[in-house]
Amino acid sequence: MPSQARGAADSDRGGPEPLSPGRRAEVLRQSLSVGIATGAYGISFGALSVAAGLSVLQTQALSALMFTGGSQFAFVGVVAAGGAGSAAIATATLLGIRNGLYGLQVTTWLGARGLRRAAAAQLTIDESTAVGMVQPEPSGRRLGFWTTGLAVFVFWNAATLLGAIVGNALGDPKQWGLDAAAAAAFLGLLWPRLRSGEAAGVAAAAALVAVLVAPHAPAGIPVIVASLVAVVVGLAPRRTGVAT
């Protein structure tokens, strides 16, 4: 079976080649700007979370312990809609599966063990994986992953606290359009993934299924039912024999 052997072929195991000072500064600059840009919308997460009824401490616990933005937004979205805790957990967990897939790649760059590996796992998110992945050399990949992961962690948590405190002071969330901010936030996470017709079709079908199921099921369940669209389309035989 023709697989993506090209992308997977890693020559990572070479000796430790230190980065040149110029490359080092470049990777650090990238990491820091991604950390600040991503961290900043922790403000919207913090505000939405307290508007959904979580305490400031619960909100902060999600940013520190769950630490994966999409799942955090999903968790508070289900809670805000009055969904059961189990539905919130299931939705957040399904959305976090991709981090496990990133881990498969990241672990080949780091070769970390024990506590270091646990720390690397906690920092395995979209941004740290993406910045690591674009570096041409193994040492650049390691530096990019660690510094981006740490930068996002610090800024995301600081911004969450700010958003939670500000959000608590705002009062009625609807008056400030915070429910619509959540819709815009999900769209912003979805948008970069809609690169193919298949992706757009899955998105449209899943949205339709969720809206159709919503009046007949407790909050949180429609989203989980809609996730079956991905399973059905993903497992369906391709219409033509052309490999991807």
8 Å CB contact between 87 and 221: yes
- Report if residue 160 touches another protein, rule: CB under 8 A: no
The CB-of-20 to another protein minimum distance in angstroms stands at 29
Distance (Å, rounded) from C-alpha 55 to C-alpha 48? Answer: 11
d(CA 48, CA 160): 10
Q: Which is nearer to another protein, 27 or 178 (CB)?
A: 178
- Judged by CB under 8 A, the residue of 27, 43, 131, 152 near another protein is 43
- Contact pick of 32, 56, 121, 161 for another protein (by CB under 8 A): 121
Site for another protein in 44-83 (CB under 8 A): 44, 53-54, 58, 61-62, 65-68, 70-71, 73-75, 77, 79, 81
The DSSP 8-state label assigned to residue 64 in this structure reads I
Binding mask 183-222 for another protein (x = CB under 8 A): xxxxxxxxx-xx---xx--xxxxxxxxxx--xxxx-x--x
Instruction: Work out the burial of residue 123: count CB atoms within 10 Å of its CB; fewer than 13 is exposed, 13-18 middle, 19 or more buried.
Output: buried
Query: Contact with another protein (CB under 8 A): which of 15, 18, 107, 140?
Result: 107
Q: Which amino acid is at 98?
A: R
Q: Cα–chain-centroid distance for residue 15?
A: 32
Using CB under 8 A as the binding rule, whether residue 157 contacts another protein is answered as no
Q: Which of 27, 151, 152, 226 binds another protein (CB under 8 A)?
A: 226
Helix orientation angle between 97-110 and 85-95, rounded to the nearest 10 degrees: 40
CB 51 within 8 A of CB 80: yes
Q: Which of 6, 180, 160 lies closest to 68 in space, CA to CA?
A: 160
Interface with another protein, residue 130, by CB under 8 A: no
In whole angstroms, the minimum distance from the beta carbon of 239 to another protein comes to 13
Closest to another protein by CB, 19 vs 71, is: 71
Q: Which residues in 33-47 are b (16+ Cβ under 10 Å) and which e?
A: ebbeebbebbbbbbb
For another protein, which is the closer residue by CB, 18 or 215? 215
The site string for another protein over 80-99 (x = CB under 8 A, - otherwise) reads -x--xxx-xx-xxxxxxxxx
Looking from the CA of 72 toward its CB, the CA atoms found within 13 Å total 28
Q: Which is nearer to another protein, 19 or 124 (CB)?
A: 124
